[in-house]
Structure 1
């Protein structure tokens, strides 16, 4: 059992004052061109200072990877000043700031991309309403995108962040390369399970090499993943255990499970004996720290997650109560705010994007 209030030190030297992390959540609070806004800085600052670390919403590493309006940008140097302000707002009272970096792949559309066709490993549309068929990436473009992730990492270092999280979850481009649904390639970037892992392999190596070649100290690299897909063919837990096993041998600082509820069991009949998080932890076998997540609402939930994982990431609960972490650390679950109304939005710096997220995920707690 890992205690909520005990510190944690990653292998690259970064120390967290406790084991609570704010999970990355879409805010849609940036300007139309990806520049950080003052409202965004206030939103992050309000929820910082008590948790050990705060992982930002996804920041796009390439212009053709934009997933939605109001998304953070990190694909050019002009974003560094705003990102530096964001990092500084998070890093009060020793909370560590981690920038999540991603590319949307096929999970966007030509309207968001100002007329350009979305790109993906293969020309296969996502199974969602009104999904557009993407254009298959050339090998030159694949290498360019990997380079974009490396350059984004360099910008995160310059902006003063304490780390980056590679967003390999939630059906975005990195996951699309690993999925047999979205990756139908027959070259070295697709086909077998091992070839579908190549993009991730090269990307992780590239990002970690950037960090290790730099002069920065105590800067970490994490990787987030989703364990299963509903598509057929799609990623199943057996595939993910292969992925985790490979990642656990990489020079990463942690892996971060993306799942709606930490209690969830696999849809695969072969993995029904225990929750997904337990299979993940077993596969890692102490080679890397694991961040657990999924409907953590109070201290009791956090402690239950920490019985398996090394760190616990909270999302929706800290949107409703910015001081959730301190109440958990003080063992005062009964003081946690659990509901909010439209009248609370200004006080809590909740934008339309965040409110929509809460409406989709926790409608019973909104008034």
Structure 2
């Protein structure tokens, strides 16, 4: 049985010291232009102590892909000095440094786009589960814009390599652009990027090809490429678990080093009536069947949570707990479980030092 102390060597050749990861989380700590701040570097370095790898919060690969003010940018070569400092800060703590690369699509805050209209696979607004609009109507991307965005993911990968990161995670989850192309709710295209599952997967395939090409061309060392996905959508139409099984079957045939499922709770049961005997994580782990390592996440706060999660995944990602309890891994290692911060996050954030932008964000969230 896998334990959190076990090391792991990815297909690419990168070795992590244990099975704990810090997953990507929004911090709002970058400058308005996406430049990394000293506060943000310190934030990541503090939480990197003990985990095998840190995955940074989302970094936009193009200016039109910026999701929100205060977001990290990897869209320009001018971003390289700050990115280099960030990678170095994480690696100095003996953790591998992965940067998550993404495009916000229709979920982008217009305030982050200087008033420009967000774009997506189709001119369809995001919906809540009851069918009510969640965002404004985006502009459908042209073929040229699609190709530019795909190239943007490759260019971002090159910058990650040059900045000294150990890998990138492609953000195909949480309703952002890559997921928008795969979802039948947001993708109503009739060209090569739309239609059935295979057609809607085309954008993902070409993004992967762009990233892998950049790794092959620029990486002078082992370099990880991971992929994060959301297993279900709560709209009709929307991504179902069957759609995700198809997606996973395609992804495991690529050179990806790992798959990372985005969940609010690692033991959450699917919404589909045909799949309620096990957790989503269990179904996915069985589907992948060892073809790629799977990263599970969602509500990991205790030693028992880590043990339970690793029964159905190769890695446990610890997010909110590390946010409020930066030395949680050390407490785990030293069997100081009684010292772990428990209770509601809303109470814990009042006792944890945060920068003003992150604190205000957490207050709104919790």
TM-score, length basis structure 1 = 0.94
Partner of 1:84: 84
Question: Equivalent residue of 2:296, what SS?
Answer: strand
Q: In the alignment, is residue 225 of structure 1 matched against residue 229 of structure 2?
A: yes
CA RMSD of aligned residues (A): 1.5
Question: What are the Cα deviations for residues 116-157 of structure 1, in whole angstroms up to 9, with x where unaligned?
Answer: 111000000112566211110011110110000000000000
Q: In the alignment, is residue 182 of structure 1 matched against residue 186 of structure 2?
A: yes
Partner of 1:57: 57
Partner of 2:26: 26
Partner of 2:242: 238
Q: In the alignment, is residue 332 of structure 1 matched against residue 336 of structure 2?
A: yes
Partner of 1:42: 42
Distance 1:53 1:358, change over 3 A: farther
Question: Equivalent residue of 2:111, what SS?
Answer: coil
Structure 1: gaps (5+ residues) = none
Question: What are the Cα deviations for residues 2-21 of structure 1, in whole angstroms up to 9, with x where unaligned?
Answer: 11111111011111111100
Q: Which moved more, 1:25-34 or 1:319-328?
A: 319-328
Question: What are the Cα deviations for residues 273-311 of structure 1, in whole angstroms up to 9, with x where unaligned?
Answer: 110011111111111110011100011101111111001
Deviation at 1:215, TM superposition (A): 3.8
Residue of structure 2 aligned with 1:284, choices 288, 308, 311: 288
* Rounded Cα–Cα distance in structure 2 between residues aligned with 1:186 and 1:50: 48
Q: Which moved more, 1:313-322 or 1:127-136?
A: 127-136
Deviation at 1:216, TM superposition (A): 2.2
Deviation at 1:342, TM superposition (A): 5.9
Where do 1:333-348 residues align within 5 Å? 333-338=337-342, 344-346=351-353
Partner of 1:307: 311
CA contact (8 A) 2:126 2:134 kept: no
CA contact (8 A) 1:43 1:350 kept: no
Structure 2: gaps (5+ residues) = none
Partner of 1:323: 327
Partner of 1:113: 113
CA contact (8 A) 2:69 2:111 kept: no
Deviation at 1:345, TM superposition (A): 3.9
Question: Equivalent residue of 2:13, what SS?
Answer: coil
* Rounded Cα–Cα distance in structure 2 between residues aligned with 1:251 and 1:341: 40
Question: Equivalent residue of 2:149, what SS?
Answer: helix
TM-score, length basis structure 2 = 0.95
Deviation at 1:112, TM superposition (A): 2.2
How many corresponding residue pairs? 359
